[in-house]
Amino acid sequence: MPLAKATLSKIHIAKSQLGMEDDIYRGLLARVAGVRSSKELNDRQAGAVLREFERLGFKPKPSSKSKGKPNNFDQMPARITKIEALLADMRLPWAYADALARQMFKVDRVAWVKLPKQLDALIAALHVEQEKRGLFAQVERLLGLLGERDPDWQLDLEALPEGWERRRPILKSLIETLTAAAAARGLL
């Protein structure tokens, strides 16, 4: 299924906002998604590319659908401040929490979630996302230390299953392997 035009536009806006040369951009696409053109991306790969752009400094415009902190923030249970802190730590908009509420509880806004166990489930989901991002950042740091352009590592990464960068067991195993390799080369 072809990528939505809005997603393709966002990728090109990010490239432009970061002032990225075409060869650097294509290298990023190859490194993050294993493709040379944004037209070859699927939804998951496009998400990974956009996250990488954000890591590099791309500032997407906030969605007009969710303007930020819920209007009733001060009247919500105390757990909402934990949700706010997790979103801020990962530099995610409130729209992300709204999307989680929609996916998990079929409720359009996190502001409409009232049950403590549902808020706890949202917090747990945000913790998982935070862990995945931390693990992936650690993999990237280790790859940079080892020289991510090393052809042996490129082949090894290409052999991983699709979506490996979102799977905690794979990320943890990869960190162990990369840490051992870095230690063996005296880089740690």
pLDDT in tens, 128-140: 999 999 998 898 8
- The Cα–Cα gap between 185 and 174 comes to 16
pLDDT in tens, 158-186: 778 888 888 999 999 989 988 998 898 88
Tokens representing 129 are: 């996302």
Which of 98, 117, 94 lies closest to 108 in space, CA to CA? 98
Torsion from C-alpha of 38, 65, 91, 173, nearest 10 degrees: -50
Is-contact 130 89, C-beta < 8 A? yes
pTM of whole model > 0.75?
Answer: no
- The Cα–Cα gap between 110 and 103 comes to 11
Residue 126 has what pLDDT?
Answer: 95
pLDDT in tens, 38-89: 888 888 898 899 999 998 888 877 554 445 666 555 556 678 888 888 999 9
Residue 150 has what pLDDT?
Answer: 58
